[in-house]
Amino acid sequence: MSHAAPQPRRIDAQGPLTGTVAVPGDKSISHRSLMLSALAVGESRIEGLLEGEDVLATAAAMRAMGATIDRGDDGVWRVSGVGVGGLLQPAGALDMGNSGTSTRLLMGLVASHPITATFTGDASLSGRPMGRVIEPLARMGADITASPGGRLPLMLRGLTPAVPIEYTLPVASAQVKSAILLAGLNTPGITRVIEPVATRDHSERMLAGFGANLTVTPSPAGRIIEIHGEAELKPQSITVPGDPSSAAFWLVAASVVPGSDIVVTNVGLNPTRTGLIAALRLMGADIEEVDARTVGGEPVADLRVRHAALTAIDVPAEIAPSMIDEYPVLFVAAAFAAGRTTARGAHELRVKESDRIATMATALAACGVQVEEHEDGLSIDGTGGDAIPGGATIASKLDHRIAMSMTVAGLHAVRPVTIDDIGPVATSYPGFYASLDRLIAGPA
């Protein structure tokens, strides 16, 4: 799943964004829906699945371990699962492409099955440390041989029966939490995760929906999540809501480009994912929730966003876990706000597809924005709504969110901004640039 030759794209400021846009299905929910459907006994149906490269990597891996996964002409995915404990030995290495979520969660699944899997990935993923997942899974009995620095390629030999553990997350990470819970599915007894800082809870919601015996209890130490092992999962019909992380680019673009007025439809508003909306509203963004509803156990609404004058804020650190993937585009919003915005509490950004703190600091500075880099975030002096100077070629570092965030920045720049390679955008949002062209053109 390596990318072909770089695909540069020049971004010119072309006036307001208007019209309606639908974003792809939520990436986090898409991954989990495939994995849990593959562990259920019977056929599950998934509508609205994100068909980006990351999620397709998960589908390919689950097929390699015995699940039957097909996409119908109606766009509905049908998955016939093997049952918890039924994963088969894959014939070859599992190529995870650029997907850290696929890798970490699938490591959890394999850890409590009597199989061996080798995980590989592209250059970006192979640079990302897996130690935070290796440590708890090794405590459960998995034998893991990683490349230097705890990186891919990595070979994991699962253990059955695995050992239930109690594990307090040292960093706020939904991926680590989910990997342990997924390992706990096929582990006798109770596996317990203590989460001092709440992270996105899609795994808990979906595990419970599939019939796992799972409880979440608040405590002074944080959320205590317990899963009873040797579960029997029941097939489900799942409708995946629109990905708030993909919607984020349109929320910021419409907020900063003068004259913009758009509606982003069917956006998932799980409270563990709405930190960016909260931050933008603190800055003065005009974001209206329309037709709020519940779809598949997840809150959903259409979001109308109109251009607004943004004011700098100190981003509350406690909302960092609910917007960790949205920090790059929040940095872009800050570049157009009045005053100095400081966004910290985001150490996790250092180990994403790229070092998103350093990469965004370099990219914004190249476009004439005043930036101060911190260990855990950035301080940014905004323009007060004026266009940024622009005129730079941005190194996206094989990171889809850097490419899309700096595309948004280029929509209100004096000189064109060129993204060196938009190929990685296909990992999460294959139709992003087509949607951008439609919003620039406006309603027919």
Complete DSSP assignment for 167-226: EE-SS--HHHHHHHHHHHTTSSSEEEEEESS----HHHHHHHHTT--EEEEEETTEEEEE
100 annotated binding-site participant: yes
**Is-contact 194 20, C-beta < 8 A?**
no
Nearest to 52 by CA among 436, 430, 402, 435: 430
- Please say if 399 is a catalytic residue: no
339 annotated binding-site participant: no
384 annotated binding-site participant: no
CA–CA dist 416, 14 (Å, integer): 10
CA–CA dist 25, 56 (Å, integer): 13
Token output for 295: 């779809």
Nearest to 117 by CA among 165, 61, 39: 61
Token output for 275: 């930190």
128 annotated binding-site participant: yes
173 annotated binding-site participant: yes
325 annotated binding-site participant: yes
**Is-contact 66 91, C-beta < 8 A?**
no
CA–CA dist 237, 143 (Å, integer): 35
Give the number of other Cβ atoms within 10 Å of residue 107's Cβ: 26
273 annotated binding-site participant: no
28 annotated binding-site participant: yes
**Is-contact 157 131, C-beta < 8 A?**
no
Distances in Å between the Cα of 187 and the Cα atoms of 35, 223, 227 are 17, 21, 9
Nearest to 158 by CA among 174, 142, 172, 170: 142
Which one of the listed residues 325, 399, 420, 421 is annotated catalytic?
325
32 annotated binding-site participant: yes
Containing H/E element for 110? helix 100-111
**Is-contact 268 232, C-beta < 8 A?**
no
Question: Given its phi and psi angles, is residue 189 left (phi above 0), alpha (psi -120 to 50 degrees) or beta?
Answer: left
**Is-contact 166 314, C-beta < 8 A?**
no
3-class DSSP state of 262: strand
Following CA atoms 138, 272, 332, 247 in sequence, which dihedral angle do they give, to the nearest 10 degrees? 110
Give the annotated binding-site residues for phosphoenolpyruvate: 27, 100, 128, 175, 356, 401
Give the annotated binding-site residues for 3-phosphoshikimate: 27-28, 32, 173, 175, 325, 352
Give the annotated binding-site residues: 27-28, 32, 100, 128, 173, 175, 325, 352, 356, 401
Residue numbers annotated as active site: 325
